[in-house]
Amino acid sequence: DSLADMVKAPAYRCSECGWTTLKWVGRCGECQQWGTVGEAGVQARRVAPAAVPDARAARPITELRTAEAPRWPSGIAEFDRVLGGGLVPGAVVLCSGEPGVGKSTLLLAVAAKAAHSGRRVLYVSGEESLAQVRLRAERTGALEPQLYLASETDLATILGQIRDTDPELVIIDSVQTVANAENEALAGGPSQVRDVAAALTRAAKDADVPLLLVGHVTKDGSVAGPRVLEHLVDVVAHFDGDRQTALRFVRASKNRFGPTDEVGCFEMTGDGIVEVPDPSGLFLSRSATPLAGTCVTIALEGRRALPVEVQALVVPASTAQPRRVVNGVDASRVAMVLAVLERHALLGLGSHDVYVSTVGGIKLTEPGADLAIALSIASAHRNVALPRALAAVGEISLAGEIRAASATKRREGEARRLGYSRFVDDGVALVRIAVAETIAAGRKQAEPSHLVAVPEF
C-alpha cells in the first residue's frame, strides 16, 4: 500500500497535549509531563481519495481575485494601528501579557467602544464574577446597554451563549480558564487549550464574528499552552509594559491582515487605560539646564520614531571590582560600548563605576542606541554637557566604527520636527572622532551655567 492509502496510528498518546509516539516513554516529549503517556492502541485504516466538487477545485493563482477584508474600527485608534486598521469579521486575536499589565482593562475598553457604537458585544470572563467586571466597568466608564457579560468556564456553555446572544464581537478572558467537559485534562493544560481555541475559532469563523482571546504567559514571556494556539489565531498581540510605570505598549508578533511592525502606546490611569497618540515627550527629562551625562537618541518602536534620553553616571570605583549597573538598556551592549570607549576613545573607565539608564522606563534593545550610550558615558566621564540640540543615532562596532542605523531618514525627520538641529549618525566614521568632536562642541558652547543654542548645519 502507498503512504496515502495506509495510515498507521501510534501506539501511545499523551493525555495532556495529545503527543503520540510508537513506544512508551515516562515523560512526554512535547509538554514534558511525567506519567501522562498511555497506550492508545494500534489501528490501521485506509484513506481513500474523496471526490472534489467543482466549486472547490484547484484553480490557477492568476485567475483568483483579491479583495481587501472589510474592517470596522474598534474605537481605540492605537489598538486599530496594531491590528492594521481595525477588526476583521471572523478574525481571532490573541492578546497576551504579564499578570496585572492591563489586558482585561484594554479589552473591556474595546468592548465598551464597540457597544457604544451600537454593536452587540459579548464579554465572557472566566476569572472574575459578574459583579467584579461591573465594578471595573463603572470605574473605567464602560457601562453600555449593548455590552453583555457572562461568567463561564465551560466551553459548551460559552458556545451556547454565543449562539443565543448573536453578538458582533466576542471577548474571552481568558482562554486558559475555559475547559471542554469531554476532555479529562485540567483547564489550562495543553490539550484543553488546544481544544478550546480550536472550537472558539471555528465558532468565530462560522458566525463571521471577531473574537478576542486573552492569553496567559509563562515566566519567560511566551504564551502559555501549546504553540499550536498561536498557529490557530489570526493575530497575536503582546501587551508589554513595566507595572512600576504607567506606560504600556501593544505589539503584534503575527498579523494575517496587517503589518507586524506597528506599536500602540497606552497609559494606565486611575480611570482606566488611555491611548497616547504622540508619546514623543514621555522619555525626556524636564531639566531646563543641560546636564553632563545625558544624550538623546531617536529610537524606533515599530514604525514610530521616539526621542529617548539616555543618562549615564561615571564615578570612581569604591571597590576592586567596578560596578556596571544598567536600567532600560542591554547590559551586554553597554559592556561592549565601554570596551570600545576604552580601546578606541582612550577613556579610562576601568577604575570607575558606570551607571546607565533611560528616562521614562522605556527599554532600548536596538543597536542604533549605541552612539547615544557612548556619548552619554563620555559626557559623564569628562563632566561636559553635550549640546542641547544634539540627537545621536548609530551602531558601534568592535573596531570603533559607527554604522548607519535602520530607517535613518525617518529618525532624522522626527529629530528635526522636535527641534534637534544636530543629528549625529554614520556621518562620523570613528567613535573616537565622534566623542572628541561632540565633547569639544559642548565645551565651545558652554557658558558659566548653560549651553547656548546650536545653529543648524
Over the stretch 18-54, which tens digit does the pLDDT of each residue have? 788 888 888 888 888 888 888 775 454 577 888 888 8
Q: Quick one: DSSP state of residue 194?
A: H
**pLDDT one-digit tens code per residue, 312-360:** 999 999 888 999 999 999 999 999 999 999 998 889 898 999 999 998 8
How many CA atoms lie less than 13 Å away from 393 in the CB half-sphere?
26
Q: How far apart are CA 136 and CA 123, in angstroms?
A: 13
399: which 3 cell numbers? 573596531
pLDDT, one tens digit per residue, over 288-305 is: 778 899 999 999 887 788
Instruction: Provide the pLDDT for residue 425.
Output: 67
The Cα-based distances of 378 to 202, 347, 386 in angstroms read 58, 8, 10
Range of lowest pLDDT (87-91, 233-237, 280-284): 280-284
Lowest mean pLDDT among 192-201, 228-237, 258-267: 258-267
Q: How confident is the model at residue 457 (pLDDT cuts 50, 70, 90)?
A: very low
Using CA atoms, how far apart are residues 405 and 393, in angstroms rounded to an integer? 7
Q: What is the pLDDT of residue 337?
A: 94
Name the band, by pLDDT with cuts 50, 70 and 90, for residue 450: very low
Q: Which three cell numbers stand for residue 337?
A: 560600548
Long-range contacts of 216-221 (CB under 8 A, 24+ apart): 216/96, 216/99, 216/174, 216/176, 216/188, 217/96, 217/97, 217/98, 221/98
Confidence of residue 246 (pLDDT cuts 50, 70, 90): confident
Residue 63's identity, in one-letter code, is E
The pLDDT value recorded for residue 311 is 95
The CA–CA distances, whole Å, from 25 to 39, 40, 150, 223 equal 10, 13, 42, 26
Residue type, 313: L
Q: Comparing 142-151, 358-367, 415-424, which segment has the lowest mean pLDDT?
A: 415-424
Q: What is the pLDDT of residue 208?
A: 92
Q: Could you read off the pLDDT of 428-442 as tens digits, one per residue?
A: 567 877 788 787 877
Judged on CB neighbours under 10 Å (0-12, 13-18, 19+), 116 is middle
Least confident segment among 18-27, 239-248, 264-273, 302-311: 239-248
> What is the C-alpha separation between 92 and 209, in angstroms, rounded?
9
Provide the mean pLDDT of the chain.
Answer: 85
